[in-house]
Amino acid sequence: MAENTSKNAIVTGASSGIGAATVRQLRSDGWNVIAVARREDRLAHLAQDTGATPFAADITKDDDVARLRAFATDTFAPSGGVDTVINIAGGARGVDTVANAQEEDWEWMYRVNVLGTMKVLKAFLPALREHGYGTVLNLTSTAGHTTYEGGGGYSAAKFGQHALTGALRLEEAENNIRVIEVAPGMVATEEFTLNRLGGNQEAADKVYQGVEKPLTAEDVAGVVGYAVGLPHHINLDQIVLRPVAQAAAHKLIRR
């Protein structure tokens, strides 16, 4: 088979943060991109700025995912079909201990991070196999590799997504689908921590207080763009990236 020559990507979670930055990175690298998120207004602005194709959908809903699959199939048919699926959509809610766990928060995190990723992949794996040079990139987290107090729910969800990614790599290698995991540590974005802490801006600001140069959404997007832009036979199985100030999950330098 000839090397992959199409550059057609689907990016979920594209309305803000790492997802939006990834769309911008890929577009600057010459990719055709369908930007997927729930918030149509934000997608419209992103599309205007980048030339990406917006598609409003909730990846946890089967009907929305089915609509996305049909739309992407038609959109990318003239340029070689879907070859890359990048799952950025996810998130965290709460910092409660296991003893004080809010079940609705845990259920939301599992639904978005694990089941949403699964639904998107299940929808697009046939197209990736047919293409012959498919790529899947899942954005997980260092929280999916190491636990910490108050992070049980988020870690459980990201451990699940991490496990899903590893199994997928084994299952789809025979179909020439490369499966990449990008696991960031501390990333300062406008919404992640704010949403996790229930909209408390003061508490969100304290998370990053004194930390010299936490990662940015653009830092992570640059790594994502690099990983999916490599020749297809090179698979960066797992990429862990942290700011220098965060030597480990339990060691963070504040100045």
Give the residue numbers marked as catalytic: 154
Going by C-alpha positions, the residue among 114, 139, 144, 134 that lies closest to residue 219 is 139
Where do runs of H (alpha helix) occur along 210-249? Answer: 217-229
Between the CA of residue 75 and those of 5, 9, 24, what are the distances in Å?
A: 17, 11, 19
Q: Which residues of 215-253 are buried (b: 16+ CB within 10 A; e: fewer)?
A: bbbebbbbbbbebbeeebeeeeebbebbbebbeebeebe
SS3 214: coil
Say how many C-beta atoms besides its own lie within 10 A of residue 190's C-beta. 12
Q: How far apart are CA 224 and CA 18, in angstroms?
A: 10
Q: Which residue has the tokens 């995912």?
A: 65
